[in-house]
Amino acid sequence: MPAVRPACEVREVIQELRERIQRIERRPVRSDRVVASGWVEVDGLLGGGFPRGALAEIVGTPGSGKTALALSAAARATAEGALAAFVDARGELYAPAAAALGVDLERLLIVRPPAPAVRGSARARELAPAVRDALWAAEALLGSGAFAVVAVDAPLAAGARAGAGGASAEAMLRRLQGAAEKGGAAGLWLGEPGSCRAPAAVRLEVAAGAEGPVVRRGGPDTGAYVDVA
Amino acid sequence: MSMSHEEATQLELGAARPVLGPRLCAVHVPDLALQRVTRARARTQGAGSGSPAGDEPPLAVIGEGRVVAATPAARASGVRVGDSAVQAEAACAGLVLVPHDAEADRGALEALAEALLALAPAAEVVLPDVLLLDASGARVVARDEPDPEAAIAARAVAIAGELGYRARAVVANGRGPARALARFGAVAPPVPPGRLTAALARLPLQALELPGPVAARLRALGIHDAGALARLPASGLGQRFGEAGVAAWRLARGEDPSPLAPWTPSVLPSEEVELEAPVESAEPLLFALKRLCDRAAARLAGRGLGASRLELVLRLDPAGTARLEIALASPSAAASRWLLVLRERIGMLRLEGAVARARLEVAAASPAPPEQLALADRPEQLAALDTVLARLAARLGADGAFAAEPVDRHRPEAAYRAAPFRASPRRTGGGGGEEDAPPPPRPTRLLAAPLPLVAEGEGGRLTAVRLEGRAFPVAALSPPERLAGEWWDRPFDREYRRARLDGLGDCWIFRDVATGRLWLHGFFD
């Protein structure tokens, strides 16, 4: 027969549980649904920032400012004590610029496959080993649950395959989306015009403007754009 | 060496107030040599199941041709401590004889001391089988326990158990009394200072470790236990035995004010196991490695350190060695985190043979920050981070994932270097009040090798550049920034500009001052 607790003891337990719940509710929610980009106008376009647990595609030419946008989001994440990762299949990320944009370099993991993909390989029909490694690493990082932001820069042509009979680029990008959902990270896919489109929740198009990058929310139904000078 | 009447009188007066030593926790590891040998013979079958004691082969440790310790199975077959090796083998068929290794015993005791440092500010190693811990801070270390000293003793026994040793511990005053009670006393709660003499009284004279001649003469007088010795008149002992006799008498009463001689660990821990049979799959190996992790981590934790790098050495059957270097995201003494990383790495390992022996070394360690502070108060993220870093290292190599560390160099391509990624504790408070000058603009992408550009211009003004045959009009051009230096090695002299090129965006271009040629070096992407 179970022991019956006196009423006063039960009240104390309930009160303690109430207080505990209140404490939990007062905690800052670290896994907010978005990661701010740090560019006020872009955050306005996105409804607060890049969605967590999803892939966002940022498309632009090499000098458009898309990398700076991704690094700015990484800067916001690292400033809040979270970790960010940059998968750099081309081997071109310049860390001093990341630091200048406010990224805490000690909290930014740079992943660089042994043989970086050469510039221009975004049109290759077969994925270079570096791109395959980069996609694998991106999936691991996005799904790990350890990173708030994972930016991925890998040249990927539409219809490219990982070897004969291998997975298509589109299928591999879908896996990234799934990994982001699993790990709760904001995945930022950096694409170039004409490269493979990611199955992203958000698509931003970045272009170099006279006064700085011009960012447009992509997709056929949205015509909003902002000038981030 | 007789004593004066005055000295003897002082002794009689002192008899009322024993001079007690520091409060110590003595941890005794009985049959250390035997325990060490049996502990090293790890069983790998049936992860976690353990084997019934009856399966253990009879084993005896032999020192100078005689049995110094024997397992229960060997003793049940008639093997006795003190038997010659020949006698022991004759008494027990299939007896395994292992030579005594005093150095290995010392190493084992020191390893245990390392782990026990988690409980006390100082520890002394007393060969062959006792550790003394400073228990004066028990109320701080175990402040939530009703009896802090008893809790420390229990925890010491538990830690020894985690490391694979059966031990007993007692808390008492003084090095000699604590040692004697741990070795010869029954397992007991802490001995209060006022009851020390009574607690010692039941111990045999041997427990006091008296000098041979003194012990022999006392036995000849019919003194066989500490209580009988303590009851003798001190003055008479002083006159018959001199200072040695008085020292023995004091010890029997529990008086030993000598301070602890602290032992300081000098090397980082490593733990080794020889597998009973070579293993070819990951699970039994991981089972054996768990023990190594537990032991090494406990030793490291005792020193307030965390491993930042581990090295696993696998000896293969019949020959060959495999080495794995494992970096941890942050210093950790949590065996569970080590094991997560090891599991990832071993899962991706292709070995040329079965593993016969494994050694886990802590290759680098540093003071371990409290784990919960390391990653935004979320220790589970640290485990996730360790795991993913291990996976990346296994596929991309040790240099495939890194943190960038700034380097004070003018040459742009040498302005940072790769450093191990550590989830450093979150910084608070910002960088201070002084505002630094804004750094000069730097591109977010730097090409591994600059691309040659062909300049096109009018009247000395750059109007377009050609890259790989395609012309890009120059929409804007910043003032030049001169970067030069390293005349002692590979001198360079470049004039950099930020150029906005129609169709390409913002680029970082430079003119090589020595040759006058124009290059594309990066993108302000």
Residue A142's CATH number = 3.40.50.300
User: A61, A109, A141, A149: best mutation site toward chain B, by most B Cβ within 10 Å?
Assistant: A109
Mutate to test the interface with B, among A94, A112, A121, A206 (most CBs of B within 10 A): A94
Whether the CB-CB separation of B249 and B256 falls below 8 Å is answered with: no
Q: Report how far residue B209's alpha carbon sits from residue B455's, in angstroms, rounded to the nearest whole number.
A: 93
Closest CA to A41 of A173, A212, A201, A166: A212
Host domain of residue A59: 32-227
pLDDT category of residue A22 using cuts at 50, 70 and 90: low
For the beta carbon of residue B207, count every other beta carbon within 10 angstroms: 22
CB contact under 8 A, B426 and A110: no
By Cβ distance, the residue of B381, B400, B444 closest to A68 is B444
The CA distance from B177 to B157, in Å, is: 19
Question: Could you tell me if residue A36 is inside a domain?
Answer: yes
Residue of B nearest to A139 (CA): B388
As for the ipTM of the complex, it is 0.82
Q: Is residue A104 over pLDDT 80?
A: yes
Residue A191 belongs to some domain of the structure? yes
For residue B69, give Cα distances in angstroms to B99, B101, B402.
11, 12, 52
* Residues of A whose CB is below 8 A from B399: 112, 114
Asked if the Cβ–Cβ distance from B446 to A92 is below 8 Å, we say yes
Instruction: Give Cα B6 distance to the centre of its chain.
Output: 54
Asked if the structure places residue A64 within a domain, the reply is yes
**What residue in A sits closest to B407 (Cα-Cα)?**
A96
Q: How many residues does chain B have?
A: 525
Map residue B501 onto helix, strand or coil.
Answer: strand
Domain count within chain A: 1
Q: Which two tokens stand for residue B145?
A: 């326990």
Per-residue confidence (pLDDT) for residue B161, from 0 to 100 = 92
**Which residues are within 8 A (CB) of B39 and not within 5 positions of it... i.e. 6 or more apart?**
B164, B165
Subunit contact B501:A210, Cβ cutoff 8 A: no
- Which residue among A30, A68, A114 sits closest to B396, beta carbon to beta carbon? A114
Q: Which residues of B touch A142 (CB under 8 A)?
A: none
Query: Given an 8 Å threshold on Cβ–Cβ distance, is A112 in contact with B385?
Result: no
In terms of C-beta density within 10 A (0-12 exposed, 13-18 middle, 19 or more buried), how is residue B23 classed?
buried
Query: Is A20 contained in some domain?
Result: no
* Average pLDDT of the residues in B44-58: 50
The count of C-alpha atoms lying within 13 angstroms of the C-alpha of A211, restricted to the half-sphere facing its C-beta, is: 4
Identify the sign of the CA torsion B332, B336, B339, B343. Answer: negative
Q: Is the dihedral of CA B390, B392, B398, B403 positive or negative?
A: negative
State the Cα–Cα distance between residues B474 and B457, nearest whole angstrom.
10
Cross-chain Cβ contact B415/A96 below 8 Å: yes
Mean pLDDT of A1-14: 66
In this predicted model, what pLDDT tens digit does every residue of A153-171 receive, in sequence order? Answer: 998 887 787 776 778 888 8
**Which of B444, B474, B509 has the highest number of chain A CBs within 10 A, making it the mutation to test binding with A?**
B444
Given a contact cutoff of 8 angstroms between Cβ atoms, the answer to whether A60 and A192 are in contact is yes
Instruction: Give the residue from B118, B115, B110, B77 showing the smallest Cα distance to B96.
Output: B77
CA distance A48 to A34: 7
Residue B453 corresponds to which tokens in the numbers above? 């550009």
* Contact residues, chain A, for B429 at CB < 8 Å: none
pLDDT tens for residues B270-303?
998 888 889 988 899 999 999 899 889 888 888 8
Question: Which of A65, A98, A111 is closest, CB to CB, to B392?
Answer: A111
The pLDDT tens digits for B331-388 are 888 888 888 888 888 888 888 889 999 999 999 988 876 543 344 445 677 778 888 9
- The predicted-structure confidence for B311-337, as pLDDT tens digits, reads as follows 999 999 989 999 988 888 778 888 888
CB contact under 8 Å between A65 and B388, yes or no, is no
User: In chain A, which residues have their Cβ closer than 8 Å to the Cβ of B500?
Assistant: 63, 208
Cα B244-B249-B252 angle, rounded to 5 deg: 125
Nearest to A113 among B400, B504, B505 (CB): B400
Minimal-distance CA residue of chain A relative to B524: A63
A219 found inside a domain = yes
Rounded to whole angstroms, the Cα distance separating B190 from B169 reads 9
Which pTM value belongs to this model? Answer: 0.63
pLDDT of B426 > 50? The answer is yes
Q: How far is Cα B488 from Cα B25, in angstroms, rounded to an integer? A: 63
Residue B253 in contact with residue B230, Cβ under 8 Å?
Answer: yes
Residue A156 within a domain:
yes
Determine whether the interchain pair A92/B375 forms a contact, defined as Cβ–Cβ distance below 8 Å: no
Alpha helices in A80-215 (DSSP H): 95-100, 129-144, 169-183
**Which residues does B220 contact at the CB level (< 8 Å), separation at least 6?**
none
Contact A83 B445 (CB under 8 A): no
Q: How many residue pairs bridge chain A and chain B with CB atoms within 8 Å of each other? A: 158
Band (B398; pLDDT cuts 50, 70, 90):
confident
Contacts of B505 in chain A (CB under 8 A): 60-65, 207-208
Task: Inspect the interface and report whether the beta carbons of A133 and B421 lie closer than 8 Å.
Answer: no
| Phi, psi dihedral angles at B272 (to 5 degrees) | -135, 150
Question: A38 to chain B: which residues are within 8 Å by CB?
Answer: none
What pLDDT shows up at residue A11? 75
3-class DSSP state for residue B280?
coil
- Within 8 A of B445 by CB-CB distance, chain A residues are 62, 67, 90, 92-94
Q: Cα distance from B100 to chain A (closest Cα, Å)?
A: 49
Residue A1's pLDDT is what? Answer: 47
Q: How many CB atoms lie within 10 A of CB B428?
A: 6
Rounded-to-integer distance, Cα B88 and Cα B83, Å: 6
Q: Provide the shortest C-alpha distance from residue A1 to chain B (in Å).
A: 31
Residue B233 region by backbone torsions, left for phi larger than 0, else alpha for psi between -120 and 50, else beta: beta
Which of A100, A106, A116 is closest, CB to CB, to B403? A106
Q: Which parts of B92-195 fold into alpha helices (H)?
A: 102-116, 138-141, 148-162, 175-184
Nearest CB to A105; choose among B391, B403, B524: B403
- Range of A146-150, B186-190, B242-246, B395-399 with top mean pLDDT: A146-150
Nearest to B258 by CA among B191, B347, B343, B173: B173
Contact of A176 with A183, CB cutoff 8 Å:
no
**Exposure of B220 by Cβ count < 10 A (0-12 exposed, 13-18 middle, 19+ buried)?**
exposed
CB distance B247 to B177 below 8 Å: no
Q: Give the residue on A whose Cα is nearest the Cα of B417.
A: A95
A46 belongs to a structural domain: yes
Q: What percent of chain B has pLDDT over 90?
A: 50
Has residue A113 been placed in a domain? yes
